[in-house]
Structure 1
Amino acid sequence: MAGRQIVAICQSGGEFVRNNDGSMSYSGGEAHAIDIDSEMSLNDLKSEISSMFNLDVDTFSIKYFLPRNKRTPITVSNDKDLRRMVQFHAKSDTTDIYILQNVENRIIRSVVADSGTSIDANNNSLVIVEEAKQKRLCINWDTMITGVGQVFSSSKAFRDALHKYAIANSFMYRFIKNDRSRVTAECTVEDCPWRIHASRSAAKQEFMVKKINDTHTCGKELSKESRRLASQRWVASIIKDKLRNTPNYKPKDIANDLEQEYGLSLNYSQAWRGKFIAKKELHNSHEEACHQLPWFCERIIETNPGSVATLQTSESSRFRFFVAFHASLYGFEHGCRPLLFLDAFSLKVNRQWKYLAATAVDGENDIYPVAFSVVDTENNDNWHWFLVQLKSAFTLSRAITFISSGQIGLEELSKVFEDSFHGYSEQHLIENFTKEMDCSWTQEMKDKMVDYLNEAIYACKVDEFYEAIENIRTQSKELAEWVLAAKPESWSDTYFKGLRYGHYSSRAAEKFNDWISTRYEPSVLQIIDILRCKLMELMYSHRESSNTWTEALVPSANQKVQEDVIKARSLDVVCSADGVFEVSDKSTNVVNTETRECTCRRWQVSGLPCIHALAVMEHTNGCIDEYCSKYFLTECYRLAYSLSINPIPDIGRPVCNDPFHSSSTCPPRTRRMAGRPKEKPVEPRIVIRRAVRCSKCQVLGHNKQTCKSTQL
């Protein structure tokens, strides 16, 4: 190749740009052509370039790209490197070389917002984003915590802000207290006074910074321990967008990027695990669900006529799925009280999606799932969509009482179910009430205050309600005012206009998590099918058990009535008019058997006769069953479980997109075998080295050839 000349296009004054596929291109500046060959020395080349661009020979370096490799610039540092460059491009008439001035922190822009790179010509290595770039990536993170009085929407929002604040300000912290009502953190360096405390503000739902000492004496320099700030989920959330555009994003590049962009020191394993989670979230969740669920919707409607299965997808592979089986809808409308609990929760086995559920209670007070939906997040739009689907699934028109946590999205109720009643969950109310009591309260006093709140919830008359409020006020005036400000008309039997029949909270999240208890992380299709199987089993087992009942009332209602009848026999009953009676115990109550009312209001609230009404029935030899709500009758209970949820065959069969055969001829998917999967990660393979033991002295850390022991 001696004497072979090529034309070198010398470019200077521009900057490198990182493309979406990870390759690099040069943008801007000016270009000149020069003839070079394998006999030319580096000094001669630099001399010509110096005069061409009016540069000092010692102030620039020369770089080029290998053929078919636009990712890594190669540095020409001696004559041998120059000859090699000519040889690499011998089959071409031209080659591009780039003149980079030896200025620290030369910026290389990137079309990917969070993946910029820079070239440091001093050490001839590719470096990831300099300090100026870091400030752009972490913009405003150093001011995420401003001081006392700063408000956050929740404890999670505060922890997220604290995490970013620590990264931007280069220090480590640890939690002293960390729960939904209070968070206290301090610097990990011993004797450093930095400390922060935040908790829920009184009478409000906001999470507020109450105390902070923002003085650091530790120097605030992150070491290798900084990797503790980068959890696997956090790394995945940071790199997910770039991984979507650059699938070959290597773990070592991830570690380098995070170190330069955020100042975090990660090892290879951490970067790999973060990439693994990000890939899983990108490719194994929404896209797979959008691919499989249309087929599943068709199978549900085909095998269970009258059911509702709706799937709505978007171009970004987002989706929302709603299902209500005909057997559940029929059973709710004909055999369950008009009471629905609305819940939003995530399953422990798969927290990528939110589940919106509408559940009822049967005559035995067991949970009765009516409909559920899978969405990507809980917001007003998804709640509205869920409620619209739920309303369209019902065939009977009746006033329904809804119980919820009263959080985001459920204000949509009044827009969709205009004639309904909306109450707050007892569990949600007690949780918020407990959060208002700080650490100065003993557990005994907290339990006592919760008992007083329960009395206010279950109170059926105004005087009973205010008696419970006064009991709270004797311990804390602020807590009493908080209870009165929490809209008692939405949770107390005294003022609530809907019918809850003695039910105040839902166990839907607990029930669904008990049902979906697998040893692996299931897909959306698998989760929905597991729920279908559980519902199918539930309908069958309850129908079979109710066939053995001989009483008119379901067992739990019959037992309660019989217990109350014994108490009612000691009460005095006086007849006032047809159907109107006066019953005396500690107080005097009026019972009207025609309207099924008692002045104690417990008959109206629970649907079962109170002890005053039972006393009247014992006095008049009346039939108790006739005065109970129909929803506690065995006949009505059997209606709730009268229909079956039909099996769906071939649920393991994948959706077929092959144009050469149909889904019916597509080979079935192999079921996953029981037990822990015996799979190994494709990258990286983490090698665990066995400790070396000396066969001479039996000490770990060396072998007999390097042993310094004098023993034989």
Structure 2
Amino acid sequence: MHDDVLRSSSHRTLMSMGIMENAVVLLCKRGDVSCGVLLERTLSFQSLMTKLFAKWKDLSEGSFSLSYSFAGHPKCLLESDEDLCVLYALTLSSRTECVDVAVKDLVDTSTVSTVVDVCSSSGDVGCGQLVLLDSVGTQVDLLPSFSGTNNSKVLKSAGWCNAIVGVGQVFLDGAVGFRDALSMYSLFHGFKYVYAKNDAQTVKVVCLERHTSKECNWIVKAKLEMPSGYFIIKQFVGEHTCGDASLSYSSSHSTSSFVGRLVSEDMRSDESKRPVEVMKDMKKHYGVEITYRRAWMTVKKARAHVYGDYMESFKELSWFVGAFRASNPDSMCVLERHDSEHFKRMFLGFAACKNGFTFCRPILFVDGTFLKSTHNGCLLSACAKDGNQGLYPLCLAVVDSENYDNWYWFMEQLKDFLEDGRVLVFVSDRHDGLLQAVKQIFPSSPHSHCLVHLKENLKKRFGGLDNSKKKYLVNLFNLCAYAPTVREFEKLLNKLKKEGGVKVAAFLDTLDNQHWCHAYFPGKRYGELSSNLVECFNNWIKKERSLPITLLFDKIRLKIMEQMSARRSASMKWKDVICPIMEKKFKGLFNVSKTWAISRSSDDLYEVRCDPSVSVNISSRSCSCGEWQINSFPCAHAFCALKRGGKNLNDYVDHYYSVDAFHNTYSKSINPVPTIWKDVSVGSDANVLLPPLCNKRPPGRPRTERIPSTGVKSRKITCGRCGQVGRHNRARCKEPLQH
């Protein structure tokens, strides 16, 4: 009864301190001294070690062990985060609020140092002063405290001290678990070992020094126990008699598979982790040195462990197609394979995006980008812009390469998928296969060539010209593209040909004016002249492009699904009639037109006197400057006229820019594709999809970055180490420091 009262009182006290209800107190006892540590769900083993080091200053890594008893188990070890999770789960299931934890010294600390009261007759040390002595009366060296060498860091490998305990220790994971424990134990204690015997039944290991010079007694032997399949230690001599000869920071047994299992969780949160970062992390967090090649293999195996194997991923693709169709029945998924059952190509279109596209401007930005997986390949995509000028992906496909055949197939699937009665406008680069495919599948659709790519192609014709001349000619070409009237365009084009010379004139003659300039373009492209939007999409999925194919499709689906949900929620807070980006554009027009004078001719016709003056017709939504007609959004002159006429600006903006259209764009959702009911035998039948037929791999390391076009300027960065402005940072700096 008394215990219940105390427990209830302590529980109320903890709650009053703001401590969570499910917290458990660990009473850690060392000798005759005990201290309390609060066990919460978020407590890590490393944090527990730090707390104990703070309580007992003379504790150090590897000098003690932690254990507790529980319901018939007198000694349960605490050595890792997993052990803490098990303890926490046990306390919840048994409703225990306090657990006794034994802190046992592996080395007798009483022989390390002693505090004595010394009375020196010589007068060097006064009576009653405290002097720290060791067991033989020698004063303890405090010099390391000035260099920081006594401030040892608690490593993640602190729990590896007792990975091997003694005879009778059981390893539930069999030989793999025993070998991992060996690696942990040897890495923590800093010695190397060799296998005297290593097979499926018996593993016998001796110290490297014993193997070479017969001078060390350390040995461990474990055998397979049937029928359980467990490995049990049968012999263990834990004392090294070789002194410090075997101490080493590295180990040949820290294999890439072993290290890969250690860093797999980090790889899950950081898909772009590099081998050099793995090397640094292993040294910093585990005190282990590994080679670059081992780190490279570690990254490869860790990615396979976290994201799956590239080859095996193709076996799951058929399951993904079926699961995607079941959860998103109105979406479109087309998987093609060769006669030999090898993967050929796959198209994925989202019904929610198709529904929303009807409320977006009828412009499609299409492009292809390379994949970074083992089998290379290419990802084709079609994107649009929502009313707030945001990226709006519609569909994508994975093919073996960017060629006419694949672009033709992609456009066929796109046409079947959209079923859009509007005349679509395409914006893309000038890839031959893409141009032909669009012309054949969408013969009535205007096709705009990306102005950015055209300017880069033009720069290649500038041989021998200085930079100022190049900039001038590129700017002149830019003006040609934006010229609103045929008269102005022809005037600027003739000037460009004259000043650019024969090569520039020859390049311009290869361009069809109706594909790149405003003056001749036959369709309505809302002022969009470049395909940068789809380049943004390629960069948006940069990390996903290195994933196995099934995960690639699923991760992109997940990313688009989350984006649609986030934008739907954000738009619910908008109070204006038109989208924020376009509303901001109106405010900019107001600032531009403050000083202009306006004269009214009729209810719909106005003259805006600026330099030069223009005529605005409100009823036809036109301005003599041409900007309103081209962009389908009021220009600064139209803004003036509308304000003067007392008109509502929102009534003269295309519906595509309205908040209502934005809501409709994101009104539907992409449904999840759960794996909970996925058959474990997926990929094991005879009709499974095989990886694509491999082409000969080009020499050198696989490229992961796009080759920039000629004339593209990369952003210069300032190195944080040497201070130089260039293309390297602190991590890649090889410059000698100047003093």
Structure 1-normalised TM-score? 0.50
Higher RCO (CA 8 Å, separation ≥ 6 residues)? 2
